[in-house]
Amino acid sequence: MTIEASEFKAKCLSIIDEVDETGESVVISKRGRPVVRLVKFVDTQADYAQLDLRGSVRVAGDLIAPV
């Protein structure tokens, strides 16, 4: 979706809510020229927290001894 900056200014909060709900990005333009893209924020730190594997590996024996 593309909208003019003046329309974004008038409907800012509802457009932000729509991007959050749908995940669709919005291009904001000035005088017909695209200036900014509004996209949904994705927290990559939260994704890494789910991959925490501490304590899931056990060492059996000496790691540096010849095989």
List the chain pLDDT tens, one digit each, 67 residues.
999 999 999 999 999 999 999 999 999 999 999 999 999 998 776 666 666 777 777 877 887 877 7
| Cα 38 to Cα 20: distance, rounded to the nearest angstrom | 10
- 33 forms bridges with which residues in the sheet? 30
Torsion of CA 15, 20, 22, 24, to 10 degrees: 70
| Domain segments of the chain as ranges | 2-40
CATH 3.30.930.10 for domain 2-40: no
What are the CA-CA distances from residue 49 to residues 45, 53, 57 (Å)? 6, 9, 17
- 3 forms bridges with which residues in the sheet? 28
